[in-house]
């Protein structure tokens, strides 16, 4: 079971502060030339309570159907499912009805590995996630045009852009985060997975 440290207190509706916290999590992602370093924060919007956080490749591939290429959003969902001792596919049953997700990069709609996409994970929660706040649109580095916003909105999930952090998200300030590479989210590579 995964446990998380205490979270900062963030004012209700302070989308930039929540995105900054997601960026803090993204900086924990192991850098790789073929991966994006994404951070995510899952929040009960009614209680203004952080339910879980995640970052790219945070969790090992020791779960059924998971080869270890965990995405930030996926890690958030896995942690809440483990907390409630249920499989991830039943997570919609326990999430608060006004859950929102902050993610530094728009959720994936295609995974070259064939793994389940983050968009499909969100939509499978049966409306529990009402809004997805994104820091940046996924660059067309690995899969070309990402249609996640359209697919989420078609599924009844609002997608909002949190403006003003694009450069920070792309740069990740690796020297301050103790990383050895310039970008966790490179502008060349093969797979976001």
Residue 4 resides in a domain? no
Within 8 A by CB and 6+ apart from 57, the residues are 29, 30, 32, 35, 68, 69, 70
Structural domain boundaries, residue 105: 15-177
Type and span of the H or E element at 25: helix 15-26
Domain assignment of residue 69, yes or no: yes
Is residue 2 in some structural domain?
A: no
Find, among 136, 137, 108, 142, the residue nearest to 122 by Cα. 108
Number of domains in the chain: 1
Catalytic (active-site) positions: 73
- Domain membership flag for residue 188: no
Q: Which residues of 62-95 are buried (b: 16+ CB within 10 A; e: fewer)?
A: ebeebeebbbbbbbbbbbbbbeeeeebeebbeeb
Q: What tokens were used for 193?
A: 């997975």
Of the candidates 139, 13, 122, 15, the residue with the CA atom closest to the CA atom of residue 76:
122
In a domain, 135, yes or no: yes
User: What is the pLDDT averaged over residues 16-36?
Assistant: 89
Instruction: Return the higher-pLDDT residue of 35 and 6.
Output: 6
pLDDT band for position 145 (cuts 50, 70, 90): low
**Domain contains 187:** no
Tell me if 85 sits within 8 A of 77, measured CB to CB: no
What single string gives the DSSP state of each residue in 156-170? T-EEEE-TT-HHHHH
> 8 in a domain, yes or no?
no
The rounded mean pLDDT for the chain is: 82
pLDDT at 178 over 80: no
Here the CATH number for the domain that contains residue 125 is: 3.40.140.10
Amino acid 2: pLDDT: 47
Concatenating the DSSP letter of every residue in 40-75 gives EEEEETTTTEEEEEEETT-S-S-STT--S---HHHH
Question: Most distant CA pair in the chain: distance in Å?
Answer: 41
- From 25-29, 83-87, 93-97, 139-143, the region with the lowest mean pLDDT: 139-143
In a domain, 149, yes or no: yes
């Amino acid at each position: 079971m995964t446990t998380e440290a205490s979270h900062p207190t963030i004012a209700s509706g302070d989308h930039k502060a929540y995105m900054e916290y997601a960026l803090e999590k993204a900086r924990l992602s192991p850098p790789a030339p073929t991966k994006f370093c994404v951070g995510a924060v899952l929040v009960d919007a009614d209680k203004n309570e952080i339910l879980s956080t995640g970052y790219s490749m945070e969790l090992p591939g020791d779960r059924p159907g998971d080869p270890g290429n965990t995405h930030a959003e996926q890690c958030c969902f896995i942690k809440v499912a483990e907390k409630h001792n249920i499989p991830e596919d039943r997570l919609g049953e326990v999430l608060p009805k006004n859950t929102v997700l902050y993610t530094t990069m728009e959720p994936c709609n295609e995974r070259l590995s064939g793994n389940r996409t983050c968009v499909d994970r969100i939509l499978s929660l049966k409306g529990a996630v009402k809004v997805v706040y994104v820091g940046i649109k996924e660059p067309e580095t690995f899969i070309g045009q990402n249609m996640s916003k359209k697919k989420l909105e078609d599924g009844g999930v609002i997608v909002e852009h949190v403006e003003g952090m694009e450069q920070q998200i792309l740069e990740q300030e690796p020297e301050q985060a103790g990383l050895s590479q310039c970008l966790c989210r490179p502008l060349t590579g093969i797979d976001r997975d």
